[in-house]
Structure 1
Amino acid sequence: MAIPMHRLGGRALHSGDDDDAEQEYDRLRDLARSEASKRNNCFERSRQAYDDGDGAGAKELSNEGKAHAAKMDDYNRQASEFIFRANNAPGKVESDCIDLHGQFVEEAERILEERIRADTAAGQTHLHAIVGRGNHSTNHVQKLKPKVEELCQELGLSYHTEENAGRIYINLQGGDARPPENSGYPGHHGGQQQQHHGGQHHGGQHQQQQQEPDWVEENVPGILAKLEKMCCVVM
């Protein structure tokens, strides 16, 4: 599925301290944009050929455009997986956080929903989603935050914009959306709060604080294999 090429933030890496990784990410996104341009050109020529009565030529160009679209999707997938792993590596974020910097909106929505469902099934109590402030977006408009809020509403989850406006606290158990007093996260009193309740949620201890969540172990092995292949480019 083609993904609109608009992403969150000015830098894909939240920490901004790894230029090699940033360059690899940009390389993959640039390849995707190039394939998108070729796709559009093929489809335009296909329509022109069809209008000129060249059905065979139109079909050939259409198939060529679809091939470029598939390559575009593959490069975008590689970029999404690569930057997600870089931003969410052990030590980069707390284990009850997910950093969505560098993701297109549709990519971020899919990744976050998978994480929410996995954490809920594992009995985790909450999740902090880093969505960015929109400082580098057109007109400083946050594109990801509204989509995250929409997803929470669809899943029947309470959520709360933290004082750090680039992060959202999501209650995976229902009830109050505010982080607990001893959560250890600064600024949890601020922001707008919206309550949404629904679905079945399972309680549990704060396992995220002690170890890397099972979600990472179960969903990232494929990404690791790809990163190993890319290391010669990144290093």
Structure 2
Amino acid sequence: MKSSTIAFVPVIAHEQARLRTDCFARSREAYVNGDGAAAHNLSEAGKRHGASMEKYNAQARDYIFRANNVHLPPDTIDLHGLYVEEAEEILEKRIDAARGRREGHLNVIVGRGNHSVGGVRKIGPAVMELCRKRGLKVEEEVGNWGKLIVTLGQGGGGEQGYGRYGKQQPHHQQQQGPPNDLEEPARRAVPKIFTKLQGCCIIC
């Protein structure tokens, strides 16, 4: 994919989501009106649009993640700019890979919520909860509340797994809005970076 194209990937994904919703709504209407064939066809069309939406969202996710991580040291991962579900999925894989290599810790950049809806942080609390469930100790880096340090040994689990970050910040409910819609992905569409990223591994 050309770098000039990546800025439009979120636009395409949003349009596919709109078409999916429209098809499913029309399918229900056709079913209510007794037109089973039309209802089925519209439902299948909605599924196809949904699959396309997932494909384009994945392309945008991979590009943003690579652009943020290409120059970071091996013990650090940058998750900001992603949806919460995407960040959780990538972090789970990275934790497993790091523990498989017997690494002692992982630095996780979660951002400060500047591009989240309402300026409310979502990735940070989600990372805290994920680590708690896995029994890992996690704490805020001193002087930098946009970065967490995850100890990859057993951190005791439960509330004991929280550092200063967890005590100071509430666990906000995740919101479904995109990260500043198109502004952030478009801003990241830098041709020189994209050229270097073509062969990068996403997770490790």
| Identical-pair percentage | 45
DSSP 3-state at the match of 1:192: helix
Structure 2 residue aligned with 1:67: 48
DSSP 3-state at the match of 1:73: helix
Greater displacement, 94-103 / 107-116:
94-103
Structure 1 residue aligned with 2:82: 103
What are the within-5 Å matches in structure 2 for residues 1-235 of structure 1?
Answer: 24-89=5-70, 92-162=71-141, 163-175=143-155, 191-192=164-165, 227=198
2:135 and 2:155 in contact (8 A); partners too = no
| Normalised TM-score (structure 2) | 0.73
How much does 1:170 deviate?
A: 0.2
Higher helix share: 2
DSSP 3-state at the match of 1:165: strand
RMSD of Structure 2 on Structure 1 (CA): 2.3
Structure 1 CA distance, aligned partners of 2:87 and 2:155?
A: 25
Aligned length: 163
Which aligned segments of 4 or more residues in structure 1 are displaced greater than 4 angstroms? Answer: none
| Normalised TM-score (structure 1) | 0.64
5+ residue gaps, structure 1: 1-19, 177-189, 195-223, 229-235
How much does 1:26 deviate?
A: 3.3
How much does 1:94 deviate?
A: 2.1
Structure 1 residue aligned with 2:170: none
How much does 1:101 deviate?
A: 2.4
Cα 1:112–1:69, aligned 2, differ >3 Å: closer, same or farther? same
How much does 1:164 deviate?
A: 1.0
2:145 and 2:165 in contact (8 A); partners too = no
1:165 and 1:191 in contact (8 A); partners too = no
Cα 1:60–1:105, aligned 2, differ >3 Å: closer, same or farther? same
Structure 1 residue aligned with 2:172: none
Select the structure with the greater relative contact order (CA < 8 A; seq sep ≥ 6): 2
1:25 and 1:83 in contact (8 A); partners too = no
DSSP 3-state at the match of 1:166: strand
DSSP 3-state at the match of 1:66: helix
Letter in 2 for 1:227: Q
2:80 and 2:123 in contact (8 A); partners too = no
